[in-house]
Amino acid sequence: MKYVQIIFSPTGGTEKAAKALTQQWPSVETIDLSVPGQNGGGIVFQPEDVALIAMPSFGGLAPQVAIDRLGGIKGNRARCVLMAVYGNRAYEDTLVQMEDAAEKCGFRVIAAVSAVAEHSIMHQYAAGRPDKKDGDQLAGFAERIDAKLRSGVTAKPAIPGNRPYKKAGNVGLVPKADAACTACGLCAKRCPVEAIDPKAPRATDGKKCISCMRCVSICPQQARKVNGAMVAVAALAIKKACSVPKQNELFI
């Protein structure tokens, strides 16, 4: 029996929330779907295994690249917990989308969690989250999930969301390098979708970019940025929805 967290966490918020939930699990392995080229191929679970599948919600859906890479994993009836992490606006259809993808891989979904983390673009929303309070709450969720695992009950919970899912939108916020860029190539090496050419790292392929903001968060020179005016407009558009701090939720 093994415990595994399968994560897609370009800027670390999803990983932080996932670790808060799995911190009491023994010997947790990590499969990082945000590693460039990771397609899940060759990864096989056993029925006695337990997995946490954690993904961010981008505009109410999980990133399609994360769903596609999960599809290469063989769940083989292992039990799994889903976690959708969002920046205090809404996760909308993310969990049901993940549920369908996990079941298609052969996992048995026994619980689901929505968790709040600092917005990856508009950092004023859910700033500093998940914080200690969130961590304590997620640890409490983990205890309830563990109790269900030990009971042997595998009933699937009622998970909120719509089918068909909402239409995926295009954020359109593509990071670009400014004059501070030293062309070190770190962003190109770490971009989950290989949208940055290692030979010309100052540019970004807008057709490939998923606006995950990893390149912005890891740049040692803080040289990669998105258009400030566009960010301000986007922040204003979701201000009302983000005005009240959202709470983490457990579906079990």
Please write the tens of the pLDDT for every residue from 9-23. 999 999 999 999 999
pLDDT at 170: 72
The residue ranges of DSSP E strands in the chain, in sequence order, are: 3-7, 28-32, 50-56, 79-86, 108-116, 176-177, 224-225, 249-251
- The single-letter DSSP state of residue 121 is S
Residue 220 exposure: Cα atoms within 13 Å on the Cβ side: 7
Cβ contact 170:97 at 8 Å:
no
Scanning 46-119, the segments in alpha helix (DSSP H) are 64-70, 94-105
List alpha helices for 167-207, DSSP H.
186-190
pLDDT at residue 225, rounded to an integer: 93
Q: Where are the domains of the chain?
A: 3-164+247-251, 176-226
pLDDT at residue 203 in the model: 87
Tell me, what's the pLDDT at 37?
A: 86
40 confidence band (pLDDT: 50, 70, 90): confident
Rounded to an integer, the average pLDDT of 150-173 is: 91
Q: Same fold for the domain at 3-164+247-251 and the one at 176-226?
A: no
Q: What CATH code is assigned to 3-164+247-251?
A: 3.40.50.360
Residues paired with 54 in a beta bridge: 7, 83
Average per-residue pLDDT for the chain: 96
Q: Which fold has domain 176-226?
A: Alpha-Beta Plaits (3.30.70)
Residue 151 token pair: 């009971």
Buried b vs exposed e over 112-136: b needs ≥16 C-beta within 10 Å?
bbbbbbbbbbbeebbeebbeeebbe
How do strand 249-251 and strand 108-116 relate by DSSP bridges?
antiparallel
Q: Measured between alpha carbons, how far is 171 from 181 in angstroms, rounded to an integer?
A: 24
pLDDT score of 55: 98
Strands of the sheet with 3-7, listed across from one edge? 28-32, 3-7, 50-56, 79-86, 108-116, 249-251
